[in-house]
Amino acid sequence: MSPQSFRKLVGLIRDDLEPKDASKTRKDYLDPETKVMMMLRWLAGGQYVDQCRRNGVSKSSVFRAFMQVINAINANPQIGHPKWPTTVDECNEIASGWAKLSGPSESRGLFTTVIGMVDGLLVCTISPLRSETNRPDDFRSGHKKNWAQLPGNV
């Protein structure tokens, strides 16, 4: 995430992350930037214990900050798709956008019917039989060290 994107995200949800009563702010108060940074690092695969050590906070403080940020993002209508598609035409329009973003995989038919994704999610399955695919590496995640279904086959 670029610094500009980070600042924009924090700006959009800052009010939801600030204490409601400034007179009751504790010494161990976490500013909105730190809360968002911790949540992004966790979503990128970091461990909560790293955030505890880096920011000098408890496990419960880390998870409380994560939930505050997630709830603030979910409650903000300016982040993500404000409206889920309800017609086939809307779905096809969104799917064509994903297909264009998928790069070379567009030529193999990946992401042609996708209307949304969750980054980092891997739905684990058993290894496919060689007779089931000509591209067995497409099913293997080197990072997650597991097998998964291709999009559209789940």
Tell me the pLDDT tens digit for each residue of 118-147: 666 666 666 666 666 555 445 555 555 665
Sheet of 146-148, strand order? 124-125, 146-148, 140-141
What would the mean pLDDT of 103-111 be, rounded to a whole number?
Answer: 63
The answer to whether the CB of 85 falls within 8 A of the CB of 122 is: no
Say whether pLDDT at 35 is over 90.
yes
Of residues 67 and 129, the one with the higher pLDDT is 67
Grade residue 153 by pLDDT with cuts at 50, 70 and 90. Answer: very low
CA 124 to the chain's CA centroid: 18
Nearest Cα neighbor of 16 from 58, 57, 55, 70 is 70
Say whether pLDDT at 28 is over 70.
no
- For residue 36, the model assigns a pLDDT of 93
Q: Please state, rounded to an integer, the average pLDDT across all residues of the chain.
A: 76
What would the mean pLDDT of 21-33 be, rounded to a whole number?
Answer: 72
* Residue partners of 65: CB distance under 8 A and separation at least 6: 30, 34, 35, 38, 39, 57
Give the global pTM: 0.56
What would the mean pLDDT of 95-122 be, rounded to a whole number?
Answer: 70
How is the chain split into domains, by residue range? 3-75, 81-117, 121-154
- For residue 51, the model assigns a pLDDT of 85
